[in-house]
Structure 1
């Protein structure tokens, strides 16, 4: 289930913050859809701030050794050659109070120094979103929820059906 969830999330929510092409959706053949979001998008900036302010909830769940949590992901802000992308990282392990390590779960569009499947370190300051699944319900995923809210009714229904997640 965790591979299905991250593939679906990567498919729908590979987010790239660029200064051009505001809110343009880029479909790539056999690759995740990219949503270009303006850097001054107040709703997305609020979603990022909410994620940063609630990261302790993610840590609490990550440190819980029960099987009720089925997937953990962090979204890392990556800057390279003037491009900024927010990339989902899975298989999260906490290294210390400031750092995590995980596996890149979606293919970047412009960033070249990180590849799908790479192991990367994530500092708390680089985190732009977090998520985990508990009893099929999405926890965190602030950017996911925002982009889902911006989808058409048909896109939302399709996403909900394919992901199998409950999103409130």
Structure 2
């Protein structure tokens, strides 16, 4: 067994910190916001195909701490985005289901049979890894190909 955190044998969810003031990460958020209408259009077309995974990444504030979590996208209700999380970090268990304003999203992704669309922060996070670690990251993420929208 390896000690790589992206090894599939780990049972705990992985939460890695990225510096929110990083200009490249801020560019990822900007791109996600600019293209979010595409995500919503594709969700409307394909959300009944349960083999396609739609997710949004949002900042969550708990006391004095802000973390950025991925939520399975569950559609919209009264102009708010609905999401559900399946692996929350300790201390955030009460945030399993959310309803948030679209303006606060950090990122979005669509995983269509291991092909990732969007996921700009995930691509950036992957770019920080060595070439040797990227296949483990891809396997952990369930992605075999990264495509532009």
With normalisation by structure 1, the TM-score equals 0.71
Q: Deviations over 1:46-66 (max 9, x none)?
A: 101111111001001010047
CA distance in structure 2 between the partners assigned to 1:62 and 1:129 by the alignment? 15
Gaps of 5+ in 1: 1-10, 13-28
**Contact 1:87 1:108 (C-alpha < 8 Å) held by counterparts:** no
Cα deviation, residue 109, structure 1: 5.1
Is the counterpart of residue 133 in structure 1 residue 133 in structure 2? no
**Alignment correspondent of 1:121:** 99
Gaps of 5+ in 2: none
Q: 1:103 to 1:55 in 2, by over 3 A?
A: same
Q: 1:106 to 1:52 in 2, by over 3 A?
A: farther
Single out whichever of 51-60 and 132-141 deviates more from structure 2: 132-141
* Backbone CA RMSD of aligned residues: 2.4
**Alignment correspondent of 1:21:** none
Count of aligned residue pairs for this structure pair: 138
SS in 2 for 1:34: coil
**Contact 1:85 1:111 (C-alpha < 8 Å) held by counterparts:** no
**Alignment correspondent of 1:166:** 145
Superposition map of 1:38-57 within 5 A: 38-57=19-38
